[in-house]
């Protein structure tokens, strides 16, 4: 079902980061967010304040540019950004190298990044329905399915990674380093966002919203609601607490 969420504003992302916190120095407790089937085109830098987020579903939105803020999220291990219009994966992977599940099928990606060979934890890769030219089709097209699907998937991923490594071992790829300054700039912006956000956190127990459950171990959030475009970001910020489910 389409929820028509077109924007996750900075204020909404900051409020998400405070959910379940008992003290200002506590880490964010949100671990899963599903924002699939909306109209999102960007994510704010403040989204990286969700420092414990492990699972993120962004499938079937309107992204044409990969949201680079995702490379700054240290805990993320499952990312589904399929069914969008992304033409290029980020120039630097950042924390994406820790992904176990990476789904970006049905986009417009033409080339896999060299750094994909460094995704040592990757067990699920969905890249079909992209006009990928490199690696060539003979490498990207999986062989016939075998009985053990998990073992098959890992073997196929390893074969792609080995091909990339063999093709790039003796070559110099300045493109891989071109994102360094860009990534440094992202981290600087994140530091600024964190400083601004933390300065507004409540400092005493009495300042906390009674609606927050401070002792919850983790939370899942699903954007299972709709709103008008004029008030989407604000409505999301105030409604998100009503759509929380504890991870079991």
Task: Give the pLDDT of the chain (248 residues) as one tens digit per residue.
Answer: 457 899 999 999 999 988 887 777 777 889 999 999 999 999 999 999 999 999 999 999 999 999 999 999 999 999 999 999 999 999 999 999 999 999 999 999 999 999 999 999 999 999 999 999 999 999 998 766 554 566 678 999 999 999 999 998 865 544 444 344 455 565 565 556 555 555 555 544 444 344 443 333 455 666 553 333 333 433 344 444 444 334 43
**161 Cβ partners below 8 Å, 6+ apart?**
116, 117, 119
Question: Domain total for the chain?
Answer: 1
| Strands annotated E in the chain | 30-34, 55-57, 78-80, 101-103, 124-126, 219-222, 244-246
Q: What share of the chain is helix, strand, coil (3-state, %, to 5)?
A: 35, 10, 55
d(CA 99, CA 24) in angstroms, rounded, equals: 29
What domain range is 229 assigned to?
A: 10-169+203-246
Neighbours of 22 (CB within 10 A): 14
SS3 134: strand
Is residue 196 in some structural domain?
Answer: no
Burial of residue 17 (CB within 10 Å: 0-12, 13-18, 19+) is buried
Is residue 59 in some structural domain?
Answer: yes
Q: Which DSSP helix (H) or strand (E) runs through 190?
A: helix 180-198
d(CA 157, CA 126) in angstroms, rounded, equals: 10
In CATH, what number is assigned to the domain containing residue 105? 3.80.10.10
d(CA 10, CA 235) in angstroms, rounded, equals: 13
Is residue 188 in some structural domain?
Answer: no
Is residue 140 in some structural domain?
Answer: yes
Neighbours of 8 (CB within 10 A): 24
Q: Which DSSP helix (H) or strand (E) runs through 14?
A: helix 10-18
- Say if residues 126 and 92 touch (Cβ distance below 8 Å): no
Is residue 55 in some structural domain?
Answer: yes
- Say if residues 62 and 48 touch (Cβ distance below 8 Å): no
Is residue 192 in some structural domain?
Answer: no
- Say if residues 94 and 190 touch (Cβ distance below 8 Å): no
Is residue 211 in some structural domain?
Answer: yes
Is residue 229 in some structural domain?
Answer: yes
d(CA 35, CA 243) in angstroms, rounded, equals: 12
pLDDT number for residue 144: 63
């Amino acid at each position: 079902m389409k929820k028509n969420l077109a924007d996750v504003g900075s204020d909404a992302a900051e409020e998400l980061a405070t959910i379940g916190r008992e003290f200002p120095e506590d880490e964010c407790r949100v671990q899963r967010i599903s924002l699939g089937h909306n109209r999102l085109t960007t994510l704010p830098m403040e989204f990286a304040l969700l420092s414990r987020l492990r699972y993120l579903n962004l499938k079937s939105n309107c992204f044409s540019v990969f949201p680079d803020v995702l490379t700054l999220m240290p805990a993320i291990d499952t990312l589904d950004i399929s069914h969008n219009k992304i033409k290029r994966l980020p120039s630097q992977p950042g924390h994406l190298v820790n992904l176990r599940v990476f789904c970006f099928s049905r986009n417009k990606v033409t080339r896999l990044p060299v750094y994909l060979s460094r995704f040592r934890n990757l067990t699920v890769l969905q890249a079909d329905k992209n006009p990928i030219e490199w690696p060539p089709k003979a490498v990207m097209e999986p062989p016939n399915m075998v009985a053990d699907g998990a073992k098959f998937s890992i073997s196929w991923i390893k074969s792609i990674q080995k091909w990339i490594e063999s093709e790039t071992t003796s070559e110099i790829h300045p493109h891989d380093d071109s994102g360094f300054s860009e990534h440094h700039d992202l981290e600087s912006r994140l530091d600024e966002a964190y400083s601004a956000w933390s300065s507004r956190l409540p400092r005493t127990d009495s300042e906390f919203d009674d609606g927050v459950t401070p002792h919850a171990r983790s939370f899942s959030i699903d954007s299972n609601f709709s709103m008008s475009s004029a008030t989407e970001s604000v409505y999301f910020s105030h409604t998100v607490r009503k759509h929380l489910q504890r991870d079991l």
